[in-house]
């Protein structure tokens, strides 16, 4: 694994379960046991009912591109060699109110559009950190993957 020169996420008591699940190549979103809704990004209380009864719920990792931008001017030196690159806002199938900001990988330019079906993939960037990213579901189908 080459040296990773980009910023890494900070784990805290609220985000720890999200990043631990990613390390296991699972996408886990906090679910409120009081109202049953999924909450992301991780917070100390449910954004809907303010309950603190949140627990990680593994989700499919399937969704659609809700919005996107193409970054031409990197905000950090580690991203210079990657530009321009897309940053997507993905709404999850389990709950369209849950949206995740991430990168789109393994795509053709025509697949960078609102409504494009995507699925999570995991990038083990360091021995300790795995980043959830997304790719078009068509990319998986073209490889014969499920």
Residues 106-120 have pLDDT tens digits of 999 889 999 999 999
Portion of the chain with pLDDT greater than 70, in percent? 93
- Rounded to 5 degrees, φ, ψ at 112 are -90, 85
Enter the pTM of the model: 0.89
Q: Is the pLDDT of residue 142 over 90?
A: no
Q: Where are the beta strands (DSSP E) in the chain?
A: 27-32, 38-39, 54-59, 62-71, 85-92, 95-103, 117-124, 130-136
**CATH T-level topology, domain 61-146:** OB fold (Dihydrolipoamide Acetyltransferase, E2P) (2.40.50)
Q: Which of 77-81, 85-89, 103-107, 113-117 has the lowest mean pLDDT?
A: 77-81
Q: Report the length, in residues, of the chain.
A: 146
Task: Kindly report, as residue ranges, where domains of CATH 2.40.50 are found in the chain.
Answer: 61-146
pLDDT tens-digit readout, 11-61:
999 999 999 999 999 999 999 999 999 999 999 999 999 999 999 999 999
């Amino acid at each position: 694994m080459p040296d990773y020169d980009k910023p890494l996420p900070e784990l805290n008591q609220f985000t720890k379960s999200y990043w631990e699940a990613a390390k296991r190549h699972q996408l886990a979103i906090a679910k409120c046991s009081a109202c049953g809704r999924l909450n992301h990004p991780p917070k100390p209380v449910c954004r809907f009912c303010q309950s603190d009864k949140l627990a990680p719920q593994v989700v499919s990792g399937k969704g659609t591109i809700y919005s996107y931008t193409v970054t031409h001017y990197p905000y950090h030196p580690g991203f210079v060699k990657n530009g321009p690159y897309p940053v997507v806002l993905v709404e999850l199938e389990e709950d369209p109110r849950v949206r995740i900001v991430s990168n789109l990988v393994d795509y053709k330019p025509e697949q960078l559009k609102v409504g494009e079906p995507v699925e999570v993939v995991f990038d083990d960037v360091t021995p300790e950190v795995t980043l959830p990213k997304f790719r078009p579901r068509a990319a998986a189908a073209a490889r014969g993957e499920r």
